[in-house]
Structure formats: structure tokens, C-alpha cells
Amino acid sequence: MDGMPTDAPSNLPPVLRPERPPHRDLAELARRFGVRTVGDVEGTTLTGITLATADLRAGEAFVAIRGVNRHGADFAATAAERGAVAVITDADGADIAASTGLPIVVVDDPRALLGDLSAWVYGTGAGDDLPQLLATTGTNGKTSVSHLLEGILGQLGVVTGLSSTAERHIAGEVIVSRLTTPEASEFHALLALMRERGVEAVAVEVSAQALTRHRVDGLVFDVAGFTNLTHDHLDDYADMGEYFEAKLPLFRPDRSRRGVVCLDSSAGAEIAARAEIPVVTIVTPAIAEDPAVDADWTVDIVDERQEGTEFTLRSRDGRSLTTVVPVIGRHMAANAGLAIVMLLETGYAWERLVQTLDGGRIDASLPGRTQLVSGADGPAVYVDFGHSPDAFEKTLAAVRRVTPGSVVMVFGADGDRDATKRLDMGRTAVRGSDILIVTDHHPRHENPDAIRSVLVEGARRARPDAEILEFTPPERAILEAVKLVGPGDAILWAGPGHQDYRDIRGVRTPYSARELSRRALRAAGWPVLDPQWPVPYPADSTPSSDPERPVDFPA
């Protein structure tokens, strides 16, 4: 849909706005950005800007862009009914929206201009008084690095903001996310609200799609971090080369001032070589494709245990600190090392970071990232957001290193998303586990049976003799998984992580892998960890013959 507006009620969290809305002159906007106007633009004041009629507030301008199937201007009448004071669109959109009687500013490409328009409306452009902005991109680890940045900044006493796949945070307030990186109009409004509330630094997860679809236009980040590049998102990009090129612009001066690049994947070296901004590099030899690669910083693994991963961060000039990231996995130590160096490059003193972290641990919550939901006794159950072959490989290896017994993996795959990785997902999952359970995830508009069949095929090709089970829906899959394990064993449920819904035929159905895991453990008589945050789940789930509907759970 690429930001296509709709006049249907939104079932997504609302877009946030500054509490003191801006007042911008439409005629001035037209002079700065427009190629022509339709109707009288003089005397009209804007208090915001949006792409979606469902989120439009009275006094705002409606930006109508061309979608895949329809033009956003088709919804201009709805925007007018909801209080829009102007339409910003292209020439075709202007013809469609003319009947509304609203003043229209015609621009060549409203999608490409949205970031600059939003920055001007909200006063959040590169030259404005803004919090420090720290961006993280890469295939895996973006969310973890963002939450680790926020956690360390909090330990330093900094008032923080966060925009990640999982959540938005504003000076301690938590809001569920809509997109990995919000649309430009949403992000600039969010940034204006953060500024109002005294936020001093913001950690931002920046996807490749955010760069190619102009969602971070109008911003210049103080520091950009790169984690890795692995197989994913080939539904959006023709091949891995195009996917790489989509991320590279973040390391140019119109996007970021400085960069920190992880060399654990081979793409890191190319990012560092082609970056047009000052860059420092970091590597974790224990997981790097080339452990001998030379970098400015090195992450050495000290210890791995269920409570977290201890590591030492060393610089080329001999500086070092040792700390603990509160989740399992060498890749999580790599993420934490990247976060620390990003803060150093932002301007936080090394001595201050050492005083805060050395000999202690990072105080950060990473929702759905190898999250332990089981108690001290019985099997360990981890829920993780990983949904790519590389993420599976690293997380399964991490679970294996802290598990004396068997490892059971439960996973599914997204519908209407990159199908080229599904065979590799099955192959990687079966190679890293003792028992594999294939189930459903977000089927969206695909047939879930067809999705599972490809995952099973990939697993059977890799290990024909492996124990591979298939259960649907996921509520049953976790019940069956818990029946297979005992003390010393572990279950890794990969895919859903922090999410509190499943997308079934375009409808967000309440669902929580964390809560389902706790219920399954309780039903088997095992203790569980108390939830760290509330997760919605229907209390009246009943048995159903529909494989996409929840089954009954013991209380």
C-alpha cells in the first residue's frame, strides 16, 4: 500500500501529534514547495499534515499520493468532511480533488516531498533545535540496538525517545508501533512531541523501506549505525544488491553526520568503504564471517549464561570496558557493543560510559528479543522476533550454548512477504534444533497451509531423518511443544516476539506468544516469569474448527 490512505476506520495505534500544534501559512508552503495552486491558498493556516484520512485532525493538510491501485485523492472528500483545510497532491490528484472545494497545492512528487513538507510544518528540519538523533539500520539487530541505546542513555541520566519496530517511547511513555519506521508526516509529528516533552536523545530504527519510501526525509541523524545484511525483504527488492543499495544512503551527509559500521557481515566492509561520512568500525570475532577482519573496536565474548551475555569492548588504542547485555546470544553482545560505540561517536565521554557500564550490566528491556518467559524450574521457553534464516541461526546457537538438554524450535513465516527465504528458514531451523515444530504466523491473505508446506519442505531437504512436526493454530503448537520438554530442555518460539496480534486476512487478531507460552507452561505445571508489560489476549478463547482461530486454553 506504500502509505496509501483509506477512509476505513484504522485498527492501528493513533498517530501522535505535538500538544501545541504548529500554525503554518498555506500560502507560504505553496511558495516554498508548490508548482501551482488551485483555489485560494491565502489566509489558510495549517496545524499539521497527514497521509491518512483515518488519522486526520481538523485543521490539517491532507497529502494525497498515488497508490498501487488507487490515487489518494479519491479520499479527498473524506478528508474535507473530517476537517482538512487543504490538499497537497500531484497534477492528477488535483483534478480528482477539485470537487472538494479545498485549496490545493500541486507538487511534482508528493511522496518524495513529504519529509521536507513535514519538517517545515512541524519545525523539525536539520537546522531546527532537536534532540540528538541516533539511527540504526541493517537486516537483523536494528530493534535491539535501538532499545540498548535507550537503556544506556537512561543509565546516563538522559531523557530519551525511541522509535522501533516494537514500540515508540517518549520520556518514559510507551506507545505500540505502527510501522518499523513511521511515515515522514508521523515521524516529524512524533519528533515535535518529543521535543515538547524535553527528550534529549532519540534512538530510531531505520529500515531499507524507510529510506526508499522517503520516511526519514527531512532529517539528519547525528550518528548512524549498521548491523549486518542478510537474506530478507526480497519481496521489496529485486536482489540482495538492490537491498544493499537501499541502505547505503543513510551513510551520506544529507542523512547522517557520522557512522559506526559492524563488520560481522561482508556488507559492512562495503558500507564502510562507500560511506561519504566519517565512519568507525566494530567486529565480534566469535560471529563474524571473517573473524580476522581489522576494525577500530572489537567485542570479545567473556561468558554466556541464561541471565545474559558478558563481553569486553576493546578499542584499537587500548581502551576497554566489560559489561553484560541482559539477553543471551553473542549477536546481542555485538548489538550492545555497536550501541556503546554509537554513543561515544555521538559525543558521550568514554569515561562516563566506563563509569556507568564497566563491571555492571546494561539496564535495557528488549521486548520479544530472546525473551525468557519460563520460571526457574522446568524447561526454558524463549520468545523471539527473529524471522530470517540468519536470525534463526544466531538465536538457536545462543539457546544451544545455555541449554544442557534438547532444543525444540517453534516457528512460522509471514504471508504476503518475502517467500524466497522460506526454504532457508526451514533448513536453518531444523539444523539448529533437536525437534522442529512448524506452525502459522501472519498468514495475511495467503493460504497458511501453503506457507507451512514450504517451511516443512526446506527442513526435510536438510534433515530427512529429523523429527519435524506440524501443528495449527499456534496455540496448539506451543501446547504440543511443552509436552515434549522437561527440566534442562528449551523451546525457542521464533517470529512473533513482542507482537500482540496476528494478521489474518487483513484483520489484526489479538494474540500474544508470550502469554500463550505462559499458559502452556502453567497447564503443564511449570512456573513462569511474571509479564514485564501487559499483553492483550482474548480471555474467552474457545475451541474452533477454523485453523486460524484460537483454541481453548486452561486458565
- Summarised one tens digit per residue, pLDDT across range 93-146 is 999 999 999 999 999 999 999 999 999 999 998 778 999 999 999 988 899 999
Residue with cell 510507551: 174
Provide the phi-psi class of 378: left if phi over 0, else alpha when psi is between -120 and 50, else beta. left
The reported pLDDT for the residue numbered 234 is: 60
Q: Is residue 3 predicted with pLDDT exceeding 80? A: no
- What is the C-alpha separation between 142 and 135, in angstroms, rounded? 9
Residue with cell 501545541: 20
Q: Across residues 540-549, what is the average pLDDT?
A: 33
Question: Which of 169, 144, 147 has its CA nearest to residue 159?
Answer: 169
What predicted TM-score, i.e. pTM, was given to this entire model?
Answer: 0.81
The reported pLDDT for the residue numbered 232 is: 62
Contact at 8 Å (CB) between 423 and 454? Answer: yes
More confident residue, 416 or 59: 59
Q: Domain residues of the chain, as ranges?
A: 24-122, 132-357, 371-523
Contact at 8 Å (CB) between 196 and 157? Answer: no
pLDDT in tens, 128-143: 899 999 999 998 889 9
The reported pLDDT for the residue numbered 175 is: 80
Contact at 8 Å (CB) between 122 and 34? Answer: no
Residue with cell 520438554: 485
- What is the C-alpha separation between 497 and 18, in angstroms, rounded? 30
**CATH no. for 24-122:** 3.40.1390.10
Confidence class for position 531, pLDDT limits 50, 70, 90: low
Residue 145 grid cell: 540496538
Range name among 82-96, 163-177, 181-195, 501-515 with the lowest pLDDT average: 163-177
Strands 24-25 and 256-262: unpaired
Q: Across residues 421-440, what is the average pLDDT?
A: 96
Q: Is residue 555 predicted with pLDDT exceeding 60? A: no
CA atoms within 13 A on the CB side of 540: 0
Confidence class for position 178, pLDDT limits 50, 70, 90: low
Confidence class for position 533, pLDDT limits 50, 70, 90: very low
Strands 279-283 and 297-305: parallel
Q: Is residue 537 predicted with pLDDT exceeding 50? A: no
Q: Across residues 289-311, what is the average pLDDT?
A: 95
The reported pLDDT for the residue numbered 489 is: 97
- What is the C-alpha separation between 450 and 473, in angstroms, rounded? 14
- DSSP state at residue 473: S
- What is the C-alpha separation between 147 and 367, in angstroms, rounded? 9
Coil, strand, or helix at residue 177?
A: coil
The reported pLDDT for the residue numbered 366 is: 86
Contact at 8 Å (CB) between 61 and 26? Answer: yes
Q: Across residues 4-11, what is the average pLDDT?
A: 41
Q: Is residue 304 predicted with pLDDT exceeding 90? A: yes
- What is the C-alpha separation between 119 and 215, in angstroms, rounded? 11
More confident residue, 233 or 378: 378
Residue with cell 563509569: 355
The reported pLDDT for the residue numbered 177 is: 60
Cis, peptide link before residue 473, omega less than 30° from 0 = yes
Percent of the chain with pLDDT over 70: 90
- What is the C-alpha separation between 118 and 184, in angstroms, rounded? 7
CATH topology match: 24-122 vs 371-523: no
pLDDT in tens, 51-75: 999 889 999 999 999 988 899 999 9
pLDDT in tens, 347-368: 999 999 999 999 999 999 887 7
Q: Is residue 549 predicted with pLDDT exceeding 70? A: no
- What is the C-alpha separation between 229 and 261, in angstroms, rounded? 11
Helices (H) and strands (E) in the chain, counts: 16, 26
What 3 state SS string does 287-332 have? Answer: CCCCCCCCCCEEEEEEEEECCEEEEEEEECCCCEEEEEECCCCHHH
CATH number (3.40.1190.10, 3.40.50.12160, 3.20.20.70, 3.50.50.100) of 132-357 reads: 3.40.1190.10
pLDDT in tens, 12-30: 556 789 999 999 999 999 9
Contact at 8 Å (CB) between 290 and 268? Answer: no
Q: What is the mean pLDDT of the chain?
A: 89
Range name among 150-159, 244-253, 439-448, 503-512 with the lowest pLDDT average: 503-512
The reported pLDDT for the residue numbered 209 is: 86
Residue 496 grid cell: 512473533
- What is the C-alpha separation between 343 and 152, in angstroms, rounded? 9
**CATH no. for 371-523:** 3.90.190.20
The H or E element spanning position 356 is helix 350-357
The reported pLDDT for the residue numbered 179 is: 52
